[in-house]
Structure 1
Amino acid sequence: MQKISPCLWFRNEAEEAVDFYVSIFPDAKKGTVLRSGEGGPGPAGSVIMVHFELFGQSFQALNGNSEDVFNNSISLSVDCEDQAEVDHYWDSLIGDRGRGIACSWLKDRYGVAWQIVPRILPKLLGDPDKAKAGRAMAAMMKMVKIDVAKIEEAAKG
């Protein structure tokens, strides 16, 4: 068992969010759903917490009935093999109510921040050729969703 599991605190849509995430990621698993008993919190039978797994990483989704909302100070970063994976995760997570932010970042319909990062991007940004890395960075800074071909083209000069 994993020692540390991120807990995402939703208002009342923890199970809905887990079902959404599990539908997007291959081999994702929805685990135990903890429900309220007669003594609360919340109405008997209502969801308190849902355990789930994405790419072998354990998470918890909690219905906190809170006014706190997700912000950009934490995000979930998805390592993508190629443009097809970038497109799949970006388009799926944005869906009909999410929005792109900048430089591979998006917010899903629940307000959770994600980074959809093609594997080549950190390699190009960290290239020992500083001019090449700079061109890749300049191209990335103009993008919301990352376009691998354009980043590679910019890096080449």
Structure 2
Amino acid sequence: MSKVVPCMWFNGDAEDAAKFYTSLVPNSEITHVQRNVSDGPSGKTGSVLVVEFTVAGQPLVALNGGMKMEYTHAISLMIHCDDQAQVDSVWSAFLAHGGKEEQCGWLRDRWGVAWQVVPKVMFEFLSSPDRAAAARAMQAMMKMVKLDSDALRRAFEGKSAA
């Protein structure tokens, strides 16, 4: 069966991006590097054309497209983090490598790709049959930059507005 694999456009640094992305979370690796077979818009013969990799088991492709393209919020990559320690680790890694914080668990990496760094517990809160509790968690999230699992839990439980 065919599968859908997101392809990310870069201007000469696809391999650097893939190396960084695969360093973020377990079950991530570069699986293949395809080099240019001749000189062209995407680079010189032997330079990296395509990098196939996985992040947390999700296959992705990085393409050196030969010119700079801008990313928008129309698509983002979401990392479901097991706990707050993983949220903190991934968030810090992005910022340490030129990333910029946004809001509600979103940030931009140094290439402009939009990422959402979300604790798995957030999905439990939002899908709760207790709609008032879910709304409190959502409202707390909307006030955050990096998501804070403990503050979200307190809001969900009605113990604070976070």
- Tell me if both proteins adopt one fold, taking TM over 0.5 as the criterion: yes
CA displacement at 1:39 relative to structure 2: 4.6
Aligned to 1:128: 129
Number of aligned residue pairs: give it.
157
AA aligned to 2:78 is S
Contact residue 22 and residue 54 of structure 1 kept, 8 A: yes
Are 2:90 and 1:89 equivalent residues in the alignment? yes
Aligned to 1:71: 72
CA displacement at 1:2 relative to structure 2: 6.1
Inter-partner Cα distance in structure 2 for 1:126 and 1:28: 28
Contact residue 10 and residue 68 of structure 2 kept, 8 A: no
Unaligned runs of 5+ in 2: none
Inter-partner Cα distance in structure 2 for 1:9 and 1:146: 28
AA aligned to 1:100 is E
CA displacement at 1:96 relative to structure 2: 3.7
Cα RMSD after superposing both structures:
1.7
Inter-partner Cα distance in structure 1 for 2:2 and 2:105: 28
Compute the TM-score of the two structures, normalised by the length of structure 1. Answer: 0.91
Structure 1 SS opposite 2:111: coil
Q: 1:89-146: CA deviations, max 9, x gaps?
A: 1111222410111111111111111111111112212322222122111111110100
Are 2:56 and 1:45 equivalent residues in the alignment? no
Question: Once the two structures are aligned, what percentage of the paired residues are identical?
Answer: 45
Inter-partner Cα distance in structure 1 for 2:2 and 2:101: 31
Structure 1 SS opposite 2:50: strand
Structure 2 SS opposite 1:154: helix
Are 2:37 and 1:28 equivalent residues in the alignment? no
Aligned to 1:3: 3
AA aligned to 2:89 is H
Aligned to 2:12: 12
Structure 1 SS opposite 2:59: strand
CA displacement at 1:87 relative to structure 2: 0.8
Inter-partner Cα distance in structure 1 for 2:27 and 2:130: 38
AA aligned to 1:38 is S
Unaligned runs of 5+ in 1: none
Q: Larger deviation: 119-128 or 99-108?
A: 119-128
AA aligned to 1:60 is V
Q: 1:61-110: CA deviations, max 9, x gaps?
A: 00112332111111111111211111111111222410111111111111
CA displacement at 1:10 relative to structure 2: 0.8
AA aligned to 1:23 is S
